[in-house]
Chain A
């Protein structure tokens, strides 16, 4: 048994592997919520992304280098379209954001459009051939300690890291990021200095949706990796909790995502080692944790200190006389 088979290292490595879709989904939701739009449709958008990616990966012939980017693109477009519906309803028609988001998840979710599409496309018969495999980056995968954790992940993980860095820079260092935050904090202020509130909201809700699509593709192209109805198993809801857990900051959210990723992977890992804890209990851990986090942060005093965008959930309308 080599050093890298140490239980903690295995858990750390799989925490990142299982946490990766959470990073994408929560990062997308951070962007949307920073603009003031809460989108409870994450789970639905992830499933749309997962099914579209699975279709491309099953039906397009070609080398992985062509098929996989196409599959990701399809996932982003499908989920982005779902987000666009939410954006239209909540920004243009000023529908209640909670209701619209829930409707999106029900419409696109496990018993909805995504399983219907999978059904008529005959997906889920066999594992997908073209999938995102773990890489051996710079030949360092066997390096003690850091090798399995940092250098033996899929391309999706490295993509998520660059997006987290990019999003942090965008939010806190660029003019557009400043404008985005002002739209989420005080749309009246943004409007009065000529920033397009609707424009920023549409863009970031849809961009956030495309990230959720990639999150879905993580399941159908890497984690599972085939189609199964409802294969995201509620991780979209965990992503929503992670946004709050991370104080609407990409860097803190990343830490939270890997914490939840560790909990998600605990079941398989411990079972493989023959540890005698019920699998049911272990699988329930991330969801129980979600409930605990939400209860803790939902107290009004916590909410005040958390730094939620002040206009989150509120439609913006120029005051009429």
Chain B
């Protein structure tokens, strides 16, 4: 756990929260939160989405002021009015969505912020670059201080974020879901970096909802649930199951791995042959992708975010032009770039961006539910919509898909993430599709909603729908998919049968190493 050299100092408290509460209109984000972080430890803040982790870190970094309670840094009571106060007190934040200026160089990004006593009034970039290199060497995070941030990989950008905080000599680093954007291998490297930082007398607050990494990286864990701190335990004295129970407040059932009962020779419903397409920046994002999905099969597409997944599902939904390749749905070619064409062919689409692309947030649930069939009877007659039909269908669908909302007229924007996803699935599945293309189906959902969504997907597959499931969550892909394709830099690295798709193997393939994918 904590390194021996600092055993004496380990009892010193780097930062602590006492009875911290924060309310927003209609929501209590934090309620009487207590926890303390020791010097030289990795302290995990574990909780589901909406448990108050982000609010708490925003309080620790001076973005929000607590309504009640107070913070202490190194034993002294502090009050942060602005982020600058927190930085001056030695607290630095590594955001999940990086706070970097893409057009600036690494050194310029690191130099942003108040002048350090050691710096000149007119900043000397050469000097700053040298100091960044020194720091990068000391913590073994190689990065070229002169390169522009947009040229860097996500892992490198994260290093810049960490260096930015270290450059200001932060004693406490808050890392918000740092592994969400990393491959398993990069995540291991990060764990080593965090270890070397705490060994050099700093402290890390590690925010996560993933039990596995919390168990492997942290020294102690504070669990947050519904805005409250439930308790702090030493990682060595606890287990995944105990933590899960603390986090959710009840025992959770893990999704059972489905038994593959689809005959390998079943009819193919979706055939993708050699498609290539460009991304938003005009660079090639998909390179000769060929996949097929059989009736009643779930094909998982795993990969680190930004390796062409978005472009792939957009091509399948008719939202992005492809430069080559063919797509057929039950033998019928889909050759126009037109969002209505795949709908007619029986392709349902649940995008990752549910409220932006999937639903119209300001429209009601019932209006969203008819978005793909308002042209036809019985929803419309001639130019008119038939409100009574719409209403009764909406009520039936909300019941069947377990959408919890005050009424069918509630704007979808006001629903929780889980209910938004259920509305979307209800609309797509009610069209009796042959193929379902779904991206990150459970991202941001709480455990209960995850189970419902997974159940709905398995049900759909059983009913014969071929599902293309794109997800960055490896456990989800392994739990649901019959076969797993790994996408890396726009190419399919390999397609593995579910039983061969171990985390290690998927991890190597996701990092671009082809050796792991000999069997396909």
Contact = CB atoms under 8 A, between A and B. Distances in A.
Interface of A: 173-175, 178-179, 181-182, 185-186, 188-196, 304, 307, 310, 318, 320-321
Contacts of B112: 178-179, 182, 189-190, 193, 195
Interface string B113-135: 11100000111000000000000
B100 interface: yes
Interface string B266-308: 0000000000000001000000000000000000000000000
A186 B103 CA distance: 10
A310 B100 contact: no
Which of B54, B104, B115, B121 counts the most chain A CB atoms within 10 A?
A: B104
Interface band, chain B:
20 to 34
A321 B83 contact: no
B123 A178 contact: yes
B476 interface: no
Given A181-B104, A185-B103, A194-B113, 16 more contacts: A175-B115, A175-B121, A175-B122, A175-B123, A179-B112, A181-B101, A182-B101, A193-B83, A193-B84, A193-B87, A193-B164, A194-B85, A194-B87, A195-B112, A304-B281, A321-B27
A318 B83 CA distance: 12
A193 B165 CA distance: 9
Contacts of B104: 181-182, 185
B108 interface: yes
A259 to B, nearest CB: 27
A174 B112 CA distance: 11
Contact of B101 (A173, A185, A304, A320): A185
A144 B502 CA distance: 82
B83 A192 contact: yes
The B interface, classified by DSSP as helix, strand, loop or mixed, is loop
B55 interface: yes
B102 interface: yes
B102 A185 contact: yes
Given A194-B84, A321-B54, A189 B29 contact: no
Given A194-B84, A195-B113, A321-B29, A178 B99 contact: no
A318 B101 CA distance: 17
Contacts of A320: 24
Given A178-B112, A321-B54, A191 B83 contact: yes
B100 A186 contact: yes
B54 A318 contact: no
Contacts of B111: 175, 178
Contacts of A175: 111, 115, 121-123
A192 B95 contact: yes
Contact of A178 (B29, B108, B121): B108
Contacts of B103: 185, 307, 310
Q: Which of B63, B112, B123 is most buried by chain A, counting CB atoms within 10 A of its CB?
A: B112
B93 interface: yes
A320 to B, nearest CB: 7
B245 interface: no
Contacts of B101: 181-182, 185-186, 189
Contact of B122 (A173, A185, A189, A196): A173
23 contacts: A175-B111, A175-B115, A175-B122, A181-B101, A181-B104, A182-B112, A186-B100, A189-B109, A189-B112, A192-B61, A192-B83, A192-B99, A193-B99, A193-B113, A193-B164, A194-B85, A195-B113, A196-B82, A310-B102, A310-B103, A318-B63, A321-B27, A321-B54
A320 B61 CA distance: 15
Nearest to A179: B112
A188 B95 CA distance: 11
Contacts of A173: 122-123
Nearest to A309: B103
3 interchain residue pairs of minimum CB distance: A194-B84, A193-B113, A192-B99
Nearest to B115: A175
Given A174-B123, A178-B123, A320-B24, A189 B114 contact: no
Contacts of B82: 194, 196
Nearest to B87: A194
A151 B83 CA distance: 50
A178 B281 CA distance: 26
Contacts of B85: 194
B174 to A, nearest CB: 11
Nearest to A318: B63
Nearest to A304: B281
Contacts of A304: 281
Contacts of B55: 321
B224 to A, nearest CB: 14
A320 B111 CA distance: 27
Contacts of A178: 108, 111-112, 123
A258 B95 CA distance: 46
A310 B104 CA distance: 12
A175 B109 CA distance: 12
B99 A186 contact: yes
A137 B368 CA distance: 72
A173 B120 CA distance: 12
A308 B61 CA distance: 30
